[in-house]
Amino acid sequence: MSEKELYRKITQNFLNAGGMPIPISDTVIEIMKMMFTEEQARFLLNFKKSYRLEEIYPITDLEGEALDRMLKELMHIGAIIGIKSRSAGVIVYRLAPFFPGMLEFTLMRGEFGEKQKKLAQLWEDGFNEMVDMTQKNYNSIVKVYSKLPALDRVVPVEELVEVPEEVILPFEEISKIVDKAEVVGLATCYCRHRKDLLGDPCKVTDDRKNCFALGRSAKFLIEQDFAEEISKEEALKILKSAEDQGLVHKAFHTRFDLTREEDGICSCCKCCCGTFEIHHRGAAPMLSMTSYIAKIRTDDCIGCGTCVENCNALAIELEDDIAVIDKDVCIGCGVCVHLCPENAIDFERTGPRKVMVPPVRLNR
């Protein structure tokens, strides 16, 4: 097997582990070569599902200290995630999804070395290739994406959630999500750090440490130096600041299964963050689950444009100096409601709904 074919095969393994479908290009292969030695790549060749330690022995020639060292190296890179099973009480090892997943781990430590700068540029090149692929095969690719589950769940600005107490669901309140987590880890935002490395810093916030890992995922990331443990009180202060700056809370779940516990929370902006940026650039749709929608009170709107400027989904426009919300694009984050100086926007609960907005169609 050639070197290129080896790295292509392990890339496919990561893609099979979950996440967005992406083209396996020479750029992606170059990223994988930067991430893994050939020995590590050959080990990963047969690593295709979740394994207990005793289940790994049949798929590798490594044993004892050599196997232990390999697993530790790959967990430190972020290629393999090792988390203790709740039911069995033993560590279960699995591949990280490629994107989102391993992509974030490559730059999550906030380092500014030459390797990180090169990785940032390679990821940028890879995103441009995704744009080209989508735009050239637009209809067929949008059809594929439409069948995927929501990649994230929007958690609204908490002060806007006014459902009667007996029917409030914990996942609708950021404080309850944080409170139920056994451990909270704080990490550098991969998306904004990547933009810093490219010389194109965030236009919305100067904060960089505002991504959170929760529970068992937090323990893993803290152990591997991707995150630092912080108190729940400190986490809520950072999340409140993010709301005031117009950032969107998005919760992520293991294998994108919204019935499972939350792995983490990101505070996203339209200029940096992957789930928004790749949509606005024309590479992929927005795929989010939400439970709310914003509605303009036209009699109170003065057409100041604050909501238009701060809508990360680009769901709002001014028509005859009145804000108009596209209900098919609104992700129910509450940022526009929270920041409207005239209090001219209502926030209504819809119940869970999937928002799937096709990628921007570029004129080429």
| DSSP secondary structure letter of residue 304 | -
92 — phi, psi (to 5°)? -110, 130
Helix-then-strand count for the chain, H and E:
15, 12
User: Is residue 172 predicted with pLDDT exceeding 80?
Assistant: no
Residue 230 has, within 13 A of its CA and on its CB side, a CA count of: 19
- Using the CB atoms, write b or e for 273-285: b if 16+ within 10 Å: bbbbbbbebbbbb
Residue 182 has, within 13 A of its CA and on its CB side, a CA count of: 8
pLDDT band at 248 (very low <50, low <70, confident <90, very high): very high
Helical spans, DSSP H, in the chain: 3-16, 26-35, 38-44, 53-56, 64-77, 102-105, 114-136, 138-146, 174-180, 190-197, 215-223, 232-244, 274-280, 306-310, 335-339
Question: Which pLDDT score is estimated for 97?
Answer: 86
Q: What is the pLDDT of residues 59-103, one digit of tens each?
A: 999 999 999 999 999 999 999 999 988 877 899 999 998 877 888
Collapse the DSSP code of 115 into the 3-class scheme (helix H, G, I; strand E, B; otherwise coil) and give the result: helix
Q: Where are the domains of the chain?
A: 3-102, 139-357
Question: Which pLDDT score is estimated for 163?
Answer: 54
pLDDT band at 23 (very low <50, low <70, confident <90, very high): confident
Identical topology for domains 3-102 and 139-357: no
- Reported CATH class of domain 3-102: mainly alpha
Question: Which pLDDT score is estimated for 275?
Answer: 87
Name the one residue in this structure whose structure tokens are 């560590």. Answer: 91
Mean pLDDT within 154-183: 77
Mean pLDDT within 126-144: 92
Whether 293 contacts 330, CB under 8 Å: yes
Question: Which pLDDT score is estimated for 256?
Answer: 72
Whether 215 contacts 261, CB under 8 Å: yes
31 — phi, psi (to 5°)? -60, -45
CB atoms within 10 A of CB 266: 25
| DSSP secondary structure letter of residue 133 | H
Question: Which pLDDT score is estimated for 162?
Answer: 63
Weakest-pLDDT range from 126-135, 254-263, 274-283, 294-303:
254-263
CA pair distance 238, 305, nearest whole angstrom: 26
Here the tokens at position 177 are 């999500």
Whether 302 contacts 293, CB under 8 Å: no
338: left (phi over 0), alpha (psi -120 to 50) or beta: alpha
Question: Which pLDDT score is estimated for 320?
Answer: 96
User: Is residue 173 predicted with pLDDT exceeding 70?
Assistant: yes
Nearest to 242 by CA among 184, 357, 155: 155
User: Is residue 167 predicted with pLDDT exceeding 50?
Assistant: no
Question: Which pLDDT score is estimated for 21?
Answer: 73
Here the tokens at position 212 are 């959170």
- Using the CB atoms, write b or e for 62-80: b if 16+ within 10 Å: beeeebeebbebbbebbbb
Q: What is the pLDDT of residues 30-42, one digit of tens each?
A: 999 999 999 999 9
What does pTM read for this prediction? 0.91
CB atoms within 10 A of CB 109: 16
Q: What is the pLDDT of residues 188-246, one digit of tens each?
A: 999 999 999 999 999 999 999 999 999 999 999 999 999 999 999 999 999 999 999 99
Indicate the CATH number for domain 139-357.
Answer: 3.30.70.20
Question: Which pLDDT score is estimated for 168?
Answer: 44
Question: pLDDT over 90 for what percent of the chain?
Answer: 78
Here the tokens at position 330 are 């609104």
| DSSP secondary structure letter of residue 148 | S
323: left (phi over 0), alpha (psi -120 to 50) or beta: beta
Question: Which pLDDT score is estimated for 261?
Answer: 84
CA pair distance 192, 120, nearest whole angstrom: 11
